[in-house]
Amino acid sequence: MKMKNLLVPTLREVPAEAEITSHKLMLRAGYIRKLAAGIYSYLPLGLRSLKKVEQIVREEMDAAGAQELLMAALLPAEAYQASGRWEVFGPSMFKLKDRNDRDFCLGPTHEELFTQTVIDEVRSYKEYPMTLYQIQTKYRDEGRPRFGLMRGREFIMKDAYSFDLDEAGLDVSYKKMYDAYCRIFTRLGLDFTIVDADSGAMGGSGSQEFMVKSPVGEDGIAYCDACGYAANYEKAECVPQEKNCGETELQLEKVETPEVHTIEELVEFLKTEPYVFAKTIIYKADDKYIAAMVRGDREINEVKLKNLVGCTDDLELAEPFAVREITHAQVGFAGPIGLDIPVYADLEVMRMKNFIIGANETNYHYKNVNVHRDFEPTVVADIRTITDGDVCPKCGKPIKTAQGIEVGHIFKLGTKYSDALGLTYLDETGKPKVVVMGCYGIGVTRCLAAAIEQGNDENGMILPVAIAPFEVIVIPVNAKNEEQIKLAEEIYEQLKKKGIDALLDDREERAGVKFKDADLIGIPLRIVAGKKSAENIVEYKLRNDDLPLELHVGEAVEAAVKFITENR
């Protein structure tokens, strides 16, 4: 491709709307443009990269025996109503009506549709196992679309679904996808970690996520270098720690704490430490209210709590009026004593002695509180978020934490959807049985964002050969120098003949502009025809190497072909 004919609207300024590196760079490099929050057009360079990501995904899915098909994105409501997800998705589902007032949605994920397809089309148990997939645009009306392609409302996903005769079959299909995912993310050049994930609301017997560690990741992950344990915060098991435990029980005391609401203010006011408190938070769980308690220096994990409570919608903090009604006090003075809603206490709370809680009375707290003597929780469980300083639940060594970008997710669904929609088969003896399913997603657009987040410097993107929009860029330094132009064109033609995805910068721009653009758009290898063109000597420079080499044209082309083919 010649750059004169290519739409590459690079920007020198950092667009104000972008907060994270990958988003900034994709805008600056002319990969994407925003249409509305979480909705983007993919310009030629962005699309080329995405197609390369898709192709890697496709090749590995095909190699693992999965079959590609393509479903509609505009979907009738019925299958989602049958599974219950028409309601479960709540406001994240884009819903619409046709001219005859029939309900439709834009597909957020396709378990129901694939299940229905197998119900309709598979006639004999002999056709199983089967894994079907598609690479398709998905729609989710995310609460916080942000970070460019990282969290879009319209995004590209590869979604696959496996269908097996029994659990043992599912284990085999799942492992095939697990292995394929490892190959895919390796080929994409992503430095990934596999973590155990929550399978809560979806049911099912196991689930893992593929995470790229990054400070901009929206998932918390806990991992142990000693034994290899790794889990999403939502799943990571917390071992109760000993702090504020073990003294003899002192007498319960009500203390006046005027105008102090937060733990920080209380710590200051009572001259103590956060771990001496137990905080009580009132939540709305569907149409009920519950209270949750953790030690004052801990955070409640709302996913763990939601799974425990078993509610459909995500938990929400109770509205102030509800808190006032339930606690008979202003917000900030809630405690478990005398509450008549269910109290969910974290395991650690059970070990604490003589702690401080809200007194359910404005401007008062209780001191020297002790479980069993002063109150009894309704449910005791691990409901807190793991943190630095915690220990590995497997081996007891210190746990580490990081933020992660979820690029893929594999999930043993079991029979949730086959039960709901009636996907059964008759076995050899004619007995009806339920098909066992798995589902497997990769965020194609998010993978590109993650790759850029992982590979960049102050000059722009540093993309792996496998997913860069072009593999090599050839630049004549002086756009008016015939000799340089001729040599650059020759190199470009030779590279193309050898099957290299080359780009020739034939624009009448200053050399500085061309070099800057080549760096910004992340092309892994640059060959420059400059002053020594008459001697057939060119500059050969890898995007992430500092120094260019001077090579004879023949050597440069040969080295380029070798480097590219080895790194594809």
Q: Interface with ligand ATP by CB under 6 A: which residues?
A: 109, 140, 142, 151-152, 155, 157, 406-409, 441, 443, 445-446
Taking the complex as a whole, how short is the minimal distance between the CB of residue 441 and Mg ion, in angstroms?
7
Sheet with 74-76: strands ordered across: 74-76, 103-106, 94-97
User: In the complex with ligand ATP, which residue's Cβ is closer, 448 or 465?
Assistant: 448
Residue 295 binds Mg ion, judged by CB under 5 A: no
The listed partner (Mg ion, ligand ATP, none) that binds 142, CB under 5 to 8 Å by sort, is ligand ATP
Q: Which entry of Mg ion, ligand ATP, none binds 438, CB below 5 to 8 A by partner kind?
A: none
Residue 348 contact among Mg ion, ligand ATP, none, beta carbon within 5 to 8 Å by kind: none
CB atoms < 10 A from the CB of 176, how many? 20
Owner of token pair 């002999």:
126
Size of interface with Mg ion, in residues (CB under 5 A): 1
305 is written with which tokens? 């709590």
**Integer Cα distance of 15 and 8 in angstroms:** 16
Residue pair 206/175 in contact (Cβ under 8 Å)? The answer is no
Q: Which of 355, 511, 453 is nearest to 25 (CA)?
A: 453
C-beta neighbour count of 70 within 10 angstroms: 9
Instruction: State the nearest-atom distance from the C-beta of 199 to ligand ATP, in Å.
Output: 11
Return the H-helix or E-strand segment holding 99.
Answer: none
Nearer to ligand ATP, 448 or 474 (CB): 448
DSSP state of 258: T
Q: Which is nearer to ligand ATP, 176 or 409 (CB)?
A: 409
Q: Among all residues, whose Cβ is closest to ligand ATP?
A: 443
> Which amino acid is residue 238, in one-letter code?
C
d(CA 280, CA 374): 15
Query: What single DSSP character describes residue 112?
Result: H
Contacting Mg ion within 179-218 (CB under 5 A): none
- Report in angstroms how near the CB of residue 445 gets to ligand ATP at its nearest: 6
**Smallest distance from Mg ion to CB 404, Å:** 11
Q: What would the two tokens of residue 171 be? A: 């284990």
Report, in Å, the least distance between residue 406 CB and Mg ion: 6
Residue 362: name its binding partner from Mg ion, ligand ATP, none (Cβ under 5 to 8 Å by kind). none
- Can you tell me the distance from the alpha carbon of 138 to that of 157, in angstroms, rounded to the nearest whole number? 6
- In angstroms, the Cα distances linking 490 to 83, 484, 485, 557 are 60, 10, 9, 10
Amino acid at position 384, single letter:
R
Q: Which is nearer to Mg ion, 198 or 517 (CB)?
A: 198
Q: What is the closest distance, in whole angstroms, from the C-beta atom of residue 271 to Mg ion in the complex? A: 44
402-461 binders of Mg ion (CB under 5 A): 409
Question: What does the block give as tokens for 547?
Answer: 């120094």
Nearest residue to 355 (alpha-carbon basis) of 237, 290, 263, 286: 263
DSSP 8-class letter at 550: E
CB nearer to ligand ATP: pick between 406 and 501: 406
Q: Which is nearer to ligand ATP, 14 or 37 (CB)?
A: 37
Contact partner at residue 129 from ligand ATP, Mg ion, none, CB < 5 to 8 Å by partner kind? none
The site partner of 539 among ligand ATP, Mg ion, none (C-beta below 5 to 8 Å per kind) is none
Distance in angstroms (rounded) separating the CA atoms of residues 385 and 200: 16
- Picked from ligand ATP, Mg ion, none, the partner binding residue 419 (CB below 5 to 8 A depending on kind) is none
Which is nearer to ligand ATP, 52 or 526 (by Cβ)?
Answer: 52
**Which string of DSSP letters, residue by residue, matches 130-194?**
EEEEEEEEEE---SS-BTGGGB-SEEEEEEEEEEESSHHHHHHHHHHHHHHHHHHHHHTT--EEE
Give the span between the Cα atoms of 345 and 528, in whole angstroms. Answer: 66
Q: Which one of Mg ion, ligand ATP, none interacts with residue 443, CB within 5 to 8 A by kind? A: ligand ATP
Nearest approach, Cβ of 154 to ligand ATP (angstroms)?
8
DSSP string, 66-82: -EE----SEEESHHHHH
Between 155 and 283, whose beta carbon lies closer to ligand ATP?
A: 155
Neighbours of 247 (CB within 10 A): 10
Tokens of 337: 């004593």
Choose the contact partner of 140 out of ligand ATP, Mg ion, none; CB within 5 to 8 A by kind.
ligand ATP
Q: CB of residue 140 vs ligand ATP: minimum separation in angstroms? A: 5
Identity of the amino acid at 484: Q
Q: For the window 393-412, what string marks contact with Mg ion as x by the rule CB under 5 A?
A: ----------------x---
The binder of 541, among ligand ATP, Mg ion, none, by C-beta within 5 to 8 A per type, is none
Nearest approach, Cβ of residue 20 and ligand ATP (Å): 13
Alpha-carbon distance 523 to 503, whole Å? 9
CB of 161 to Mg ion, least distance (A): 15
190 vs 224, beta carbon nearer ligand ATP: 190
23 binds, among ligand ATP, Mg ion, none (CB under 5 to 8 A by kind): none
What is the spatial distance between Cα 380 and Cα 286, in angstroms, rounded to a whole number? 20
Closest CB 437 distance from ligand ATP, rounded Å: 15
User: Binding to Mg ion (CB under 5 A): which residues in 474-493?
Assistant: none
When the beta carbons of 136 and 459 are compared against ligand ATP, the nearer one is 136
Q: φ and ψ at 259, to 5 degrees?
A: 60, 25
| Residue 151 lies near Mg ion (rule: CB under 5 A) | no
- Judged by CB, which is closer to Mg ion: 210, or 540? 210
Copy the structure tokens of residue 69.
């098909």
Beta carbon nearer to ligand ATP, 443 or 464: 443
526 binds, among ligand ATP, Mg ion, none (CB under 5 to 8 A by kind): none
Q: Which residue has the tokens 């001729």?
A: 486
Indicate the residue among 444 and 564 with the shorter CB distance to ligand ATP: 444
Closest separation between CB of residue 108 and Mg ion, Å?
Answer: 12
Q: Which residues in this chain contact Mg ion in the complex, by CB under 5 A?
A: 409
